[in-house]
Structure 1
Amino acid sequence: MKTISSQRRLVLQGLAAGAAVAALPALAAEERTLRIGYQKFNTLNILKGSGNLEQALQPLGWKVKWFEFAAGPQLTEALNGDAIDFGHAADTPSAFANAAGVNAVYLAAEQPYPKGIGIFVAQDSPIRSVKELKGKKVALGRGWNVQYLLVRALEEAGLSYSDIVPVYVTNAADVRATFQSGNVDAATLWDPYLAGQQVSTSPRILRDGAGLSSNRTFHLANPGFVDRNKNIIRILFAELKKTNAWAQSHPQETAALLAPQLGVDPKVLQLATERRNYTVVPIDAAIIAEQQQIVEVFYKLNLIKAQVQVKDKVYAEALL
């Protein structure tokens, strides 16, 4: 067997080293990408539309990639699978994710948005109250914010979740299709889909979240990513706070900005925007208690299998 000469061995080693060095920039570029998951109509949508986060991170050599999800459960699953680094979800999907062991932590929350969720019936429906939903079919999704609203609204009316017939669907489009087909007696949606339903068919809202559900949005992240990149998360929240302040004082302009991005009628977005408060806030004891109550409600219904402690899922260091 022939042996490789010392000179040839040095050449091969040099080529291998050069190839490794050449691969480093590509690897570094991949490591310097912030992957954000978002859903239609939320504060992250507005930040995405402004391009301000990209501008703020560019001097640090970071890029931003945005991934849209149909609802919170799909987004939290992407977090758990390390497909994204950061994202947002409503209160109930976040609680379900906690109980399912999803590898995500709470970083911050948005202000309450109780009028952005609703239980509704057709305008000509004989049903006039939540109490009259007993024995009726209601379209909703498992682990959605409106599922929690429905549970609480039934309790308020002296009923239990077992008194209705839940018709589970997987996304908001399925809710609308099922409702409009007449296959259910009532349905549940969240903004902007609720606003879209109101604009298109003028349904009767039996109950929104006022006094029953805060319907908060939570900002969640992979804890390992946060540990390694706290400065990046702080920049993200700094830009988000600026964007929220602008959106709060410019509801019409916000709707105009989001409409082409989301493919949603500006009238729909204006209705949804006008009943929302855009402010990102730290996770405090009161917010933790709200989330814990959601866990307890669904645990008692045997819809959540683990009585997780929400306080253990909050990132230890404030990043706002």
Structure 2
Amino acid sequence: MTLTAEAPTTGTSTAAHTAARKRRKRSESLAGYAFLSPWLLGFVLLTAGPMIASLYLAFTNYNLFAPPEWIGLENFTRLFSDPNYQQAWKVTLTYVVLGTPIKLLAALAVAMLLNNAFSGKGFYRSSFYAPSLIGASVSIAIVWKAMFIDNGIVDQVQQFFGFQAGGWVGDPSRTMPMLILLTVWQFGAPMVIFLAGLKQIPSELYEAASVDGAGASRKFLKITLPMLSPVIFFNLLLEMIHAFQIFASAFIISNGTGGPARSTLFYTLYLYFRGFQDFQMGYASAMAWILVIVVGALAAVFFWSSKRWVHYSGEGK
């Protein structure tokens, strides 16, 4: 009798407890979404919304002064017959292929030097990192241009050592090396990441290699590079994406023309010309989406290839 009487009470209590738990879970979810709402609103209005709009505009003829007119794939087909578009890809890919590895090599070399114990190490770390804090700003591009113009400090130094006089800014064969030097000079950010990765390599590995008679080069190839491969992958991917986005320095140094002789006509600069000088926003949107697809495809290739050369601690390989 007692068991029969208590059974409904127990069932009711369990159901009430379940309902209360669901209400509590629902209120926690609502609170979470409330805290996330500023970010979600910003993402929809400032990122996802403009991306969807630009994807639509890529298939239209739109000049900012009239409603967009649907033209299908015409913008994309025009790209392949545009000589300036081809030149923009040539300049940009040259910058990415040359500038990115040189910058990372410089960052890794300095990080390995700073990883050693010596006095004043903190000062040197801060000094090497300082240029990265400024970034690719307009002020740095103006200073860099002043250094490499005719009778600038670089021209005066090369004349002092007996080299041919003349600035680099007006020489189409020297503008790319000048811009690569600018990006290499700002190697502080990847250097700090390399330095953090070097600190994580156990010193016992180097000690065991020394006992086995391994030299400095063998330690670097067999210990440092494999253990540092995740950091190398991260820096390589990040710097590759940044290299495709170069704009401010090329715009300032070329006076907004992409010259001399289209030697600084980078992809983003030509996109700016089409969109905000010629007001061909549909054409510029198509260019933007092609860039997104190319960078995304390269990133996918990086992740696919990383299975072959990136080694994480704890793997059984």
Shorter-chain TM-score above 0.5: no
State TM-score, norm by structure 1: 0.24
Largest Rg, 1 or 2? 2
Larger proportion of helix: 2
State TM-score, norm by structure 2: 0.24
